[in-house]
Structure 1
Amino acid sequence: MKNILQWILLGALLCSMSVWAVPQQSHAEIRTVITAFAHEQTLHLPGQVTITVNEIDRRVSLPACPALEAFLPPGGQLLGNSTVGVRCTANMKKWTLFVPVHIKVSANLLITNRPLQQGYALRAEDIGSQQSELAQTGILTDPLQAIGKVLKFSVGAGQVLKQDMLRAPYVVKQGQTVKIQIERQAFKVHADGQALSNAAEGETVQVKTLSGQVVSGVVQPDGAVNIRP
């Protein structure tokens, strides 16, 4: 009789646990969502991209969620060691988890073939490449990104080229006489002026007119300055 009572109590306990147990979120599903998100966000990167998502601590227990959403925390970037967040957006089950990831990008990085001086405009023969891991954003991988650009400072041979090392060539130089184009709805007004600074195509420059007025406009490919009132 005692044994029968024990079995009845055990059965009741198991039934109670099965009724009240909350389904747990699969860690594998979370990692799959992160991998898909990282893949989509790194499609623009050059070269071969390898995505590694860290294992989630087995002690982490979260309610199962029908609506998982991956996101990049503010200030984060998917390159090298990073973190991706996953949140449950379902009502009554909201939670957020952050998981470390590593994004490895192997690409042909642009390098200089010889020492080059500040102010030098790069040509095709000045540029080579080397296979390496892309460790930060802004590193150039396409020669078209560099040819014709001007070095902001001198560099040695074998220097990896980055966007912030180069500038567009100046179309307008300080003190130069430039043509001013003032566009209105039905007509254009042309005048001469003096550029107050250096500027490349598409940049804004201040120009002093013959009357002494200072105006700002956008530099055109031919060196004219377009002013829109």
Structure 2
Amino acid sequence: MASCTALLLLVCSLPVSAATESAEAIRATVTRFVRNHLPANISNAQIHVDGPAPGLRFPACDHLQLGFFGYSNPYGNQTVTVSCSSPSPWKLYLPVRLAIKQNVVVAARPLSADRVLSAADLSVVQRNTNGLGGNALSDPQQAIGQVLRFGTLAGQPITTSMLNAPEVVRAGQQVTLYAEGDGIRIATIANAIENGRPGQAILVRNMQSGRVIRGTVTARGAVVVPF
């Protein structure tokens, strides 16, 4: 008894004959809980519950309550709380490790920064996505035509954070400038002062008035300013 800590005193002091929740049953319950909360597109996850330690006995519970402690990352490690309120209250925090193999887009060869990606630059492999987060690409079409922000090694996963949309406006190029507001749209011609990608704000010079203004680049290569 002297080896028991205060937190485990209730567990360690249980009579051998008392009704208990086994460590194996608790792990099985946590595994089912985690699997039921996985995204619908994940069907092959391997779930590893760390603890409770073999041999520990917990008072039998009328109804086990489970929940996620902190951020529940559906693609990586997480912590699950297991608690009981009656007849004897107790609570556990169990780390859970996930191993999920899914299609992952990787670089087919070493690639340099600012490269516009083509199908030949990419491959699809099965890989454990734990640690990659939810921004790893699964379909090459998500990357084709995008611009690589920095160089990669062959086999390196391609993630959304590594990509930029291609520039659709170049400095010195004439673009259509739209002024929009209150249901009114006025079009004129402007000269781009900066390069721009869709959604990016750049400076342009109104060819008619000579004014330099900042507008937002559209997917079609126009620039829009509110008024």
Query: TM-score scaled to structure 2, two decimals?
Result: 0.69
**5+ residue gaps in structure 2?**
1-17
Q: Which amino acid aligns with 2:203?
A: V
Greater helix content: 1
Q: Does 1:134 align with 2:129?
A: yes
Q: Which amino acid aligns with 1:221?
A: A
Q: State the Cα distance separating 1:206 from its structure 2 match.
A: 3.3
Q: Distance in 2 between matches of 1:195 and 1:72?
A: 51
Q: Which amino acid aligns with 2:159?
A: K
CA contact (8 A) 2:105 2:138 kept: yes
CA contact (8 A) 2:39 2:74 kept: no
- Match of 2:170? 173
Q: Does 1:124 align with 2:123?
A: no
Q: Distance in 2 between matches of 1:86 and 1:44?
A: 24
Q: 2:73 aligns with which of 66, 74, 77?
A: 77
CA contact (8 A) 1:122 1:150 kept: yes
Identity %: 27
Q: Per-residue displacement from partner, 1:111-166 (whole Å, max 9, x unpaired)?
A: 22233332221111221233332232233222122211111123343333232222
Task: Answer with 48-57 or 119-128: which moved more.
Answer: 48-57
CA contact (8 A) 2:22 2:58 kept: no
CA contact (8 A) 1:65 1:93 kept: no
Q: Does 1:184 align with 2:181?
A: yes
Q: Distance in 2 between matches of 1:85 and 1:93?
A: 16
Q: Which amino acid aligns with 2:31?
A: T
Q: Distance in 2 between matches of 1:63 and 1:226?
A: 66
- Match of 1:199? 196
- Match of 1:154? 151
Q: 1:53 aligns with which of 49, 55, 61?
A: 49
Aligned length: 204
- Match of 1:99? 94
- Match of 2:218? 220
Matched position secondary structure for 1:120? coil
Matched position secondary structure for 1:172? coil
Q: Distance in 1 between matches of 2:58 and 2:96?
A: 20
Matched position secondary structure for 1:48? coil
Q: Distance in 1 between matches of 2:211 and 2:128?
A: 54
The structure-2 alpha-carbon separation of the partners of 1:221 and 1:31, relative to structure 1 and needing over 3 Å to count, comes to same
**5+ residue gaps in structure 1?**
1-21
Q: Which amino acid aligns with 1:97?
A: L
Q: State the Cα distance separating 1:53 from its structure 2 match.
A: 1.9
Matched position secondary structure for 2:45? strand
Q: Distance in 2 between matches of 1:106 and 1:207?
A: 45
Matched position secondary structure for 2:31? helix
- Match of 1:4? none
Q: Distance in 2 between matches of 1:175 and 1:69?
A: 61
The structure-2 alpha-carbon separation of the partners of 1:80 and 1:185, relative to structure 1 and needing over 3 Å to count, comes to closer
Q: Which amino acid aligns with 2:211?
A: G
The structure-2 alpha-carbon separation of the partners of 1:117 and 1:55, relative to structure 1 and needing over 3 Å to count, comes to closer
Query: TM-score scaled to structure 1, two decimals?
Result: 0.68
Q: State the Cα distance separating 1:174 from its structure 2 match.
A: 4.3
Structure with max Cα Rg: 1
Q: State the Cα distance separating 1:96 from its structure 2 match.
A: 4.8
Matched position secondary structure for 2:155? coil
TM-align CA RMSD = 3.5
Q: Which amino acid aligns with 2:225?
A: I
Q: Distance in 2 between matches of 1:190 and 1:113?
A: 44
Matched position secondary structure for 2:79? strand
